[in-house]
Every structure is written in C-alpha cells, then in structure tokens.
Amino acid sequence: MQLAKRLGSWDGKDVAFLEKVYALYPHDAALAQDVFQALNSAAHVQTGATWLLKRHFESGARLDARATGRFLGSLALLEPWEARLHALQCMPFLVIPARSRAVLETFVREALESDVKFVRAWAFAGLHALAKAFEDLRPEAEALFDEALEAGPASVRARIRNLRKEGF
C-alpha cells in the first residue's frame, strides 16, 4: 500500500511527480503488484496508478498471464475517466487470456459509449486487442470501425486508421 499512500499526495496533474514515483520502480515487477493494490483506492490514486502502469508498458515491461488477468479483473473498479483512458491505452501491450474476455469485453463496450471522446477513441484500441485475441470478434470490430470512420469524431477516425495499419 506504499504506492497508494504516495499517490494520495499527488495533485492529480503533476506528471513530474508521477515520473519520480516511477523512478522508484525501475523495471521492477513489484510496480504492477503495487498498482493492482492501488486500484482499490480513491479516484485520483487510480488515475495515478494506471498512468504508472501505462508508463511501465511504454518502457518495455510486460505482464505475465496471471498479472494480466488480475489487471483486467480490476477494470470494473476504475472510476475516473482518466484511469479508464490509461487502462485502454495499456491494451496494445497485453496478451489477453481467454478467461478475461468477458470482463474486458464489458469494459470496452462501456468505453465505446463514453461521453469522453478520448475514452471513446481509445476504446477502439481495446476492441482491436480483443479482436486480435478472439477471431470471432473480428467481423463485429470491422463493422464498428467502418461505422465510426463514417460518423465518428476526428480523434476516433485517426485511432481507427492507425489500428487498421496494424491489422488483426
């Protein structure tokens, strides 16, 4: 719970603060475990914790199947839109276990309906990750991509164009 305590003093905006916290965990597997514990905390702590996990992935770290399942299992706990956004931004770095499909599918479908356009745009990254992992979702993902390319805001269209370059 040390991480949650540290993040409790974060102002919710200062990225330099988060970078300093991240520096305490240089490519350390303990970061993920501490993040998972922090996800049970206050909203702004969740936002900081998910930011740290995203930063961890961007630095080349990956989760094993068990840790991935634990992270995906905690998605329903995320309250602030910023934490949900960070979680969606983590999706391209994950190998999604079959047992986590339902919880991730629910999370992504809710995000696709979000009032926050950044969350909605990144929900397509979650949908893409699901469709890569589960072939039966690819036709639906393609249809939703097509629909959003026609009627979605620029942020969503740009995200989908990038995802299509990657393919399934």
In tens, the pLDDT along 80-109 reads 999 999 999 999 999 999 999 999 999 999
Q: What is the pLDDT of residue 30?
A: 86
77, 78, 101, 118 from 157: Cα distances, Å: 28, 26, 25, 12
Q: pLDDT 10s digit of each residue in the chain, 168 long? A: 589 999 999 999 999 999 999 999 876 678 999 999 999 999 999 999 999 999 999 999 999 999 999 999 999 999 999 999 999 999 999 999 999 999 999 999 999 999 998 999 999 999 999 999 999 999 999 999 999 999 988 888 998 999 999 888
pTM above 0.85, yes or no: yes
